Amino acid sequence: MDWHVIMRGEQHGPLSRDQVLQHLQDGQLVGTDLIWRPGFSDWKPVSELAQFWQPPRREPSSPPLPRGADFRTAPSEFEGVPLSRLVDTRHELTALIKQNLYGGGSKQEGQAALTARNSLDKFIFGMTDDHLVTGSADDLRPLKSGIILETYGELLEILDDYARRFGNGGKAVKQGMAAIACDPDVLGRFDSARKAAIQAIAGGLAMFAQGRFEKLHLSIRTEAGNSEAWRESKAARGS
């Protein structure tokens, strides 16, 4: 009776291993929920513990995506999960990433959430018609476009957040980029070219920091604006 879990925002325990497994089988507990026992330094996602992790089977907690498609996955860790639940899970993981990886919470939890979300995104982008019970892979295009654009948005949010943490002006921007450069979890979100740009701002003169920062910011916005995801988003809005 050593296990404690957080399900739907409420803590339960102590529980036996069999009780935890029963909650998983019933769909009350899912991989992104947190679990703890004496000896752990912090709460962990259930998905990190091999003896417990199995596919989540909760019903969607929000309405399905437009078109009413009821997608279900081929055999994998996401087997049997409706697409609408996968979307909910992605939102939950994103919130954990922002709260913990960049927001001063548990780095371990934030990194676990990022790893889980990357796995989920890889699964979604790899889905084909053969993976779907109804609908086609083309019906996933709006979701995929949204994920791509959200990723660009997150990079811009990180830059803006850290640039403002130390005040205004070139010196503050330089300090903010130095903070990113010193944190491998945050710096790791950027590709090699942008890592180099961040490090150049951090190591350069404060008088050039603002201009270099704006150039970096613009490069991300431009890449997002030139992406197929952005064109599809504009077409969907009729603009």
Q: Is the pLDDT of residue 87 over 50?
A: yes
What pTM did the predictor assign? 0.62
pLDDT at 94: 87
Categorise residue 175: left if φ over 0, alpha if ψ from -120 to 50, beta otherwise. alpha
Instruction: Determine which of 119-123, 166-170, 192-196 has the lowest per-residue pLDDT on average.
Output: 119-123
DSSP state of 139: G
pLDDT band at 8 (very low <50, low <70, confident <90, very high): confident
Residue 49's pLDDT band, with cuts at 50, 70 and 90, is: confident
CA 220 to CA 135: how far, in whole Å? 33
CATH number of 1-58: 3.30.1490.40
Per-residue pLDDT at 232 exceeds 50: yes
Dist CA 22 CA 24 (whole Å)? 5
Domain positions in the chain: 1-58, 61-135, 163-239
Distance of alpha carbon 207 from alpha carbon 185, whole angstroms: 27
- Cβ contacts of 12 within 8 Å, gap of 6 or more: 4, 5, 6, 23
Q: What is the pLDDT of residue 113?
A: 85
